Structures are given as structure tokens and as C-alpha cells.
Amino acid sequence: MDSNDQDPAPSRRRFVGTVAGGLAAAAAAVPAAAQQPADPAPGQPPAGRAREAASRYPRPPFQNQSQPWPGLAGKMTPRPDHGETTYRGSGRLAGRKALVTGGDSGIGRAAVIAFAREGADVAINYLPAEEADAREVVKLIQDAGRKAVALPGDIRDEAFCRKLVAEAVRQLGGLDILVNNAGRQHSTDSILDLTTEQFDWTFKTNVYAMFWITKAAVPHLKAGSCIINTASVQAYDPSPNLLDYAQTKAAEVAFTKALAKQLGKQGIRVNAIAPGPVWTPLQVSGGQTQENLKKFGADSPLGRPGQPAELALAFVTLAADESSYTTGQVYGVAGGAGNP
């Protein structure tokens, strides 16, 4: 927040109060039948025991594993929890229309599942190589009784980004929630080994695409709409092996705060979520070294990485009407470390 603003404490209290109120409302609500998850798969916790699930989330050490970029959630061990059997909706986003990039897996998938079970129709973007994960997500949206739109393609291309937004608007019949979530992360120990090609790839995916997609979406957004960007703890506490990635996440924070000031008069809110270590395909497809992967999340106060499902409610709360006075904020979900 700018130094010439008034005391920021009331704003923070309002934001925390809004989020806390959203959590309480979601916990107390009784979902409609169409918003219920399917029966749990063998070995999965029942939907009513989401509170207990956190105690059973996996902790390091994790086994060695690697996948070619961009990786698939369905091939990870253990498989991430995106809320497939635990997230219960309460109609907080009924009738809304959302576009989520990187919606096939990881944090984006968790947001998509939650949005659909809260009553929103959802378009997801993903790379063609992620089709197997995307098909699962499409079915989950449809099982929630909502419309699903699958829009594969590479967001490093500006023309595709414009087409992506246009198709989402056309097939959904409008747009009022945009989630810029897709990201590129690749571990490189030394700046001497960080190539221009990799640097460009990371910035095109994380920063340029966010700019292109948002620019194309803004003309379709009306008062009450919102934009949510997935930033990272890396914006505040960068790891030495993620030099390029950390820069992009800091850029996303600045983008969020500046755009919120631009769009405030139009009634369009812009916020970000800054996750800490979260168990997603990003980590096993080059985002971490094998050594770091074994102990991934161990240094967080909770002693484990987060699961994508644990971020779902943050996206819902920032998208919901109850957060109508929340804009230009970064909401940290990092297990207790490194966030604003």
C-alpha cells in the first residue's frame, strides 16, 4: 500500500474479517444436491470429514519422481487432493461465469471444482499435453450440474490469449470471474545456467499471458466482476534456485495492486492469492530438484506442503459478493511463512 495512504490497519482488518466471514458462511451452509461431490473413491475421506483430512495429508519425505513438462496430477505419487471428494458448495457463486487458466490440475483445478460446486459455469485453459487431467475436470464440473468449456492452447501466444477470452465469453454467455493461474517454474541453481530461452518462457507464461488475457477480458467485465491472480510466497521470500520465477511472482503482485486502482471506479475487483509450497505437477516436472522434492514443504511451520484443496475456499471468498470491498489485496496461504 502506498505510503501516502491512510492507516492501512483498518483495510487489513476489513479484509481479514471478510475472509473469516466467508469461511464461517461456507462451513455453516448446506449444499444443494447438484453441488455435492460424487461418492468418495476407495481410500478417500468422506465429504463430511474435510476438517479431518488435513491431519492425513502427506508429509515429506516424498519419493523420487519426475515427469516431462507440464506434468499430470494423475501420475503423481501421492496424488494431490483438489477437493474432489471434500469440497461442498453452498451456492455462493450461483449464475457466475468463470475462466481459469491452468484449470486442469493443481491450484487451478481446486478453484474450478469449488467454483462449479458453488454454482458457476467454468471455462478452463490448459496445454494440449494436459488433456487427460482436463477431461477429469470437465466431468467434475458437469457432475456439479454446471457448464464446462475446455479451451486448450499455449498462452505464450498473444493471439491465442485473445481467442481464449473470446471463446470463453461466447460459450459461457459472458464472463465475470477471471483467474490468471497458469504458471511456469523451473529450478536453476545459478544465474550462469539460466538461459534467455528459459527466462523468456517463464515471463511469457507468468507475466505476458496474464497481461494479454486480462486486457482481452476487461471489456467484458461489469461492475461486480473480479480478477484473481495466483502469485506466490516467492514474491516475498524468493528461493535462490527460482530466480526467474520469483521475479514473475513479484510482478504479479504489483500488477494486481496497480490494476485494482485502475478498475476500482468500474466496480471490478482485482486481488491475488500467494500460496506457499503446494503439491502440484509444477514441482515434479522441473520445478524442484529431486533433492528438494524429497523434503518439499518440510520447512513450513506446518511441516508439509499444502494441498490444492486447501486454497479453494480462498478463491471462492475473493470471488464472492461478500468480498465486495476487498480489492488490491494479496491473501497468503502458505502454512505460516513468508507471506504478506
Enumerate the active-site residues. Answer: 245
Q: Any residues with CB less than 8 A from the CB of 98 and at least 6 apart, and which?
A: 112, 115, 120, 121, 122, 123, 172, 175, 176, 177, 178, 179, 319
The DSSP annotation for 88-156 comes to ---STTTT-EEEEETTTSHHHHHHHHHHHHTT-EEEEEE-GGGHHHHHHHHHHHHHTT--EEEEE--TT
CB 47 within 8 A of CB 261: no
Instruction: Provide the H-helix boundaries in 29-81.
Output: 50-53
Q: Provide the residue type at 44 as one letter.
A: Q
Q: Provide the residue type at 86 as one letter.
A: T
Instruction: Provide the H-helix boundaries in the chain.
Output: 9-28, 50-53, 106-117, 131-143, 158-172, 196-203, 209-217, 243-263, 281-282, 290-294, 312-319
Q: Which of 282, 280, 287, 333 is nearest to 310 (CA)?
A: 333
**Strand arrangement, sheet containing 97-101:** 148-152, 121-126, 97-101, 177-180, 226-230, 269-275, 330-333
Q: How far is 268 from 261, CA to CA, in rounded Å?
A: 10
State the sign of the Cα–Cα–Cα–Cα dihedral 20, 97, 307, 246: negative
